[in-house]
Amino acid sequence: MRHRLVLSVVDLGLIGLATLCAQLLRDSFETRPEQVVALLPYLGLTLAAAIPSLAVFKLNHGIWRFSGMADYLSVLGAAILIVASAVGLGFLVNRLEGVARSLPVIQACLILFGLVGVRVVARLRHAGRGRAGLQPVPIPAGPENILVVGINPISELYLRSVAEYAAGRVRVVGLLARKESQTGRLVQRYRILGSPEQIASILGDLQVHGVPISRVVVTLPFDKLSLEARTALQEAEENSGVKVEFFAEHICSAERAKRAAPPTMPPASTQNADAAPAGLGQLEMLARRPYWRAKRVFDVAAATCAIVISAPLLLVMAVLVVIEAGPPVIFWQQRPGFGGRPFRLFKFRSMARPYDVNGRRIADTDRVSAVGRFLRRSRLDELPQLFNVLIGEMSLIGPRPLLLADQFQGLDARLVVRPGMTGWAQIKGGRELSAPDKAALDIWYIRNACLRVDLQILIGTVRLVLFGERTADRDAIVEAWRELRSNAADDRAGGASAPVWAQAQSSA
């Protein structure tokens, strides 16, 4: 309770400071004392409106160092509600005497900047402690994603055992409960996703989000499952390729934990020479150039300005998505990022759910809404990734983050830098390119990144948004592969071998 009070006081202080700064900006920093005095009634009304607004959006409930997209959208909603309420109250009290018409707009932008900024700083500070000394590495052997079926003492003990003995090797994505009414509740911070009868649609939803499930652990006795649940589990094992285990005697033994490995890529330590990451030695040196640090400063400044300027547009698009497709507004997918570390990439949702209420798959063409088509065509669905840029998971320009299944093995050296909202591969063909060609173009960008190339990408991205995707630039692709072959000797020193390049180019 005391912690929440402190957070509320800090937010109120930032809101008051934002109001005063808005007056200073409005008057070009030439505000006279009498103007500040005239602003005090409006300032008081703003703080009065902020108290219930902060409570409505539960801004003091979050943990700033773990803040994310949902928190920032709540801040956006709270900022709009605070300013709208203050303007309404001010008009009723004194007809907004002493308040310039442009001041509420500037005030809203500064409130958004202040409240989001303090949360981002807290997150970056916390992330900096854990990342100190870390260097970009190829995609690590990730955890095995599993679902747990059942809510009982055995499942509780299983979850504790995983946390204690298999952290980093086994990841419990969620639980399935016999009672559908328990959906959405938490058990030891793990979310209940639905019932066993709904496993087909749940597996499909997780697959869309880039979280493939390889194992389902059932902690309920077989005879406690309904006939529909048994049938659904059997069909999931046959059709989705997941392994269903009835957990009875052994709870996450050490041998099972050792065998846990991601279904799509062998551990880095067991890869043979032909599957080794490409060109890491030389590319890691290039990724440490001062230019990348300068890019990070520009990313933070540009993303902050873009979020503040586009805040009204973000709100309008969020409302349109809710009206057209319903909640949630934001769609996320797990993708490998800097150094292969997974992160959640955010977009505005442009499609309805992939499964109907009966668990049947809906065709993609029937899922895209009219608003979704517009957002995709204009690339406006990518705007939420500005928050990914702000918190350090992405850059404005860099290799586009791919799904793990599309990350071509042997060319994961593209992950030695932060992924970007747009990049060299996007303006040289985008969706028309094969995965190896995209990787080759991305690696070419890492080797040749400079201000001139980044400006080319920005101009090309504007052209792409206005006129649509262009045909693949074969000259750029040939040049990228030629440079990869010419640097083959250096790449072998970094851990790659010639067959990797040959295999990649033959599959392009």
Convert the pLDDT of each residue in 300-359 to its tens digit. 889 888 888 888 888 888 888 888 877 788 888 888 888 878 888 999 888 877 666 666
Q: How far apart are the first and last CA of the chain?
A: 58
Q: How far is CA 283 from the centre of its chain?
A: 25
pLDDT band for position 421 (50/70/90)?
Answer: very high
Dump pLDDT digits (tens) for 174-189. Answer: 999 888 888 888 777 7
State the pLDDT at residue 404.
Answer: 76
State the pLDDT at residue 272.
Answer: 35
Outline which parts of the chain fall under CATH 3.40.50.720. Answer: 144-261
Q: Is the pLDDT of residue 166 over 60?
A: yes
Answer for the pair 150, 218: CB distance below 8 angstroms, yes or no: yes
**Between 180 and 194, residue with greater pLDDT:** 194
Q: Is 259 exposed, middle or buried (0-12, 13-18, 19+ CB in 10 A)?
A: exposed
Please state the three-class secondary structure of 34-85 as a single string.
HHHHHHHHHHHHHHHHHHHHHHHCCHHHCCHHHCCHHHHHHHHHHHHHHHHH
Question: What superfamily would CATH give domain 144-261?
Answer: NAD(P)-binding Rossmann-like Domain (3.40.50.720)
* Range 435-447 average pLDDT: 86
Answer for the pair 341, 417: CB distance below 8 angstroms, yes or no: no
Dump pLDDT digits (tens) for 261-294. Answer: 444 433 433 333 333 344 455 667 777 788 888 8
State the pLDDT at residue 501.
Answer: 44
State the pLDDT at residue 128.
Answer: 60
Average pLDDT, the chain: 79
Answer for the pair 143, 169: CB distance below 8 angstroms, yes or no: yes
Answer for the pair 397, 457: CB distance below 8 angstroms, yes or no: yes
Answer for the pair 287, 494: CB distance below 8 angstroms, yes or no: no
Contacts of 15 (CB under 8 A, 6+ apart): 46, 47, 50, 82, 111, 114, 115
Q: Is the pLDDT of residue 10 over 50?
A: yes
Give the tokens for residue 224: 């406690």
Q: Following CA atoms 472, 473, 477, 478 in sequence, which dihedral angle do they give, to the nearest 10 degrees?
A: 130
Question: Of the spans 110-114, 228-232, 281-285, 368-372, which averages the highest pLDDT?
Answer: 110-114
Please name which of 170, 459, 184, 202 lies closest in space to residue 354, comparing C-alpha atoms.
202
Please name which of 30, 75, 113, 117 lies closest in space to residue 391, comparing C-alpha atoms.
117
Separation of alpha carbons 55 and 315, rounded Å: 20
Angle between helices 498-507 and 435-448 (to 10 degrees): 130
Q: Is the pLDDT of residue 38 over 70?
A: yes
